[in-house]
Structure 1
């Protein structure tokens, strides 16, 4: 299992956050999703044998949400969630 932080552009309401969570939860290999509207991010736990952060970002892009993961998200103001959660 792997955990990724996805920085998500385009979430501007609880309905958007719920839709993002629904998309990620329905992705193959995903076991846990936590979406923060305030931080515009999703913490996703997934089995890397079944999906990747690129696939998850692609699933979100299909619904109109731009997502960045890893170093790209950190450069744009995201964080690991440990200190500023």
Structure 2
């Protein structure tokens, strides 16, 4: 299973809390894999997302927000433990 991670960053300088002087948004997209879960595999609470770095090591990059009950059931039916031949 793979997923796309989209991160939005909002930067700004303000002269006071009501009047923005500078407003800039940027978006970053990256491919990742589900590297783990919190909770139980049959009904995960959140997904732990990872990417391989330049050395080939799997690195944690993000965690999803808490999954809805429907998403937990759906993913719980599709996720499975890795086998002994998994790196």
> What TM-score, normalized to structure 1?
0.22
Q: Which structure's CA Rg is the greater one?
A: 2
Q: Return the structure number with greater helix share.
A: 1
> What TM-score, normalized to structure 2?
0.22
Q: Taking CA–CA contacts closer than 8 Å with sequence separation of 6 or more, which of the two structures ends up with the larger relative contact order?
A: 1
